[in-house]
Amino acid sequence: MDLHTLPGVTAKEVAEAHQQDVSIQDRFFCRAMTYWIDEGQGSVFCLIEAPDKESVRRMHEHSHGLVPNEIIEVKVDVVNAFLGRIKDPDKVEETSTPDLKVFNDPAFRILMVAKAKDARLLRLTLGINLTQELLLVHNTIVRDQLKIHDGREVEMREEGFVASFRSVASAIACSLEIQQKMSLVAGQVGLHIGIHAGVPVNKSEELFGEALKFANYLCSIGNDNQIIMSSSVRKLYKEDAHTGTINQNIRWLSHSEESFLEGLIETLENHWQDPQFGITDFCEAMSMSKPQLYRKSVGATGMSPNTLLREYRLHRSLDLLRSEDRNVSQTTFDTGFSSPSYFTKCFQKRFGLQPMAYLKART
């Protein structure tokens, strides 16, 4: 899939360019499958089956000269899950040009991530039977509400869902229903919901990578059974004629909080494996003084920078310990902890069991 940024472009112009691609696609061993266009944003996303990125560039260059700004490799089933189609939509505008299909179908989506606690941790602390019962309740509620509110299930793992919505109002209504119906077991399951919005290609090699990464991170802050939404979602919600506070267990990020968290995520991802990375380095990476970083970190996440870094490392350690051929010592140093004994102490305090017990458990 590629991205073309074309301010002022019209749906008819894109339809003509797509038709030109189709007319020469065989010369470049490509197949121009379909596209999405948002006239207001001047964004066009093309889905193309091709042997490599260079073939896509050459096809576009020779057909209409509109070389893409970005190209990423995607799986067709994932595109369909997020966007709902992999061919032209059924509803198109009538034109005087034969075989010219004109439509204005944006690729912008609202993404909801609903996460429970790590499934293996739940089994170890609550037992297999109760965990299965709780996760079944969780999964049934989420799927039922997605169906009611026109959400598309993109991905499902034991501990949570990723869903895609066209409408911000539908995404929020779905989240609120899940929150309400999960309220009795939310403490045991540890439900967190994050909502963000974005486009399929944007500074990432994965489809909706940037938007999904931020929605996932929103799930890591806040309280059990709390919904956290980005400032961009809040803006869209207000534009959709919704105002006021929805309930007490929902949190809207301000624009400044969102910008801070984006920088925070980037810093954590770049340095979480470095055992030498300390608070002074944190401040330098974020271009903030210690008091400023502390104040903003606590305000946005409820955690100090040191606690935040440790929390991030511990959650990444769960991912590593689920991998094959993994041991505690290796995981210690791969997650930036200085010694296995300190890692074990932090892991025990955070998750209520030793990493060796988690490692030995089988899903």
The DSSP line for 135-190 is HHHHHHHHHHHHHHTT-EEEEEETTEEEEEES-HHHHHHHHHHHHHHTTTTHHHHT
At 90-119, the pLDDT tens digits run: 888 777 676 788 999 999 999 999 998 899
- Amino acid making up residue 233: V
Cα Rg, the chain, nearest whole Å: 23
Question: Cβ atoms within 10 A of the Cβ of 300, count?
Answer: 19
Residue 281 has pLDDT above 90, yes or no: yes
CA distances from 286 to 204, 268, 327 (A): 21, 10, 33
Instruction: Give me the pLDDT at residue 247, please.
Output: 57
The answer to whether 36 and 83 are in contact (CB under 8 A) is yes
The answer to whether 307 and 299 are in contact (CB under 8 A) is no
Exposed, middle or buried by CB within 10 Å (0-12, 13-18, 19+), for 96?
A: exposed
Cα–Cα distance measured from residue 57 to residue 72, given in angstroms and rounded to the nearest whole number: 12
Spell out the domains of the chain, with CATH numbers in brackets: 2-83 (3.30.70.3090), 109-253 (3.30.70.1230), 256-363 (1.10.10.60)
At 160-179, the pLDDT tens digits run: 899 999 999 999 999 999 99
Question: Cβ atoms within 10 A of the Cβ of 94, count?
Answer: 7
Instruction: Give me the pLDDT at residue 224, please.
Output: 82
Cα four-point dihedral sign 48, 77, 215, 328: negative
245 pLDDT tier (thresholds 50, 70, 90): very low
Residue 241 has pLDDT above 80, yes or no: no
Q: Pick the closest to residue 314 from 264, 259, 257, 358 (CA basis).
A: 358
Phi, psi (degrees; rounded to nearest 5) at 73: -90, 135
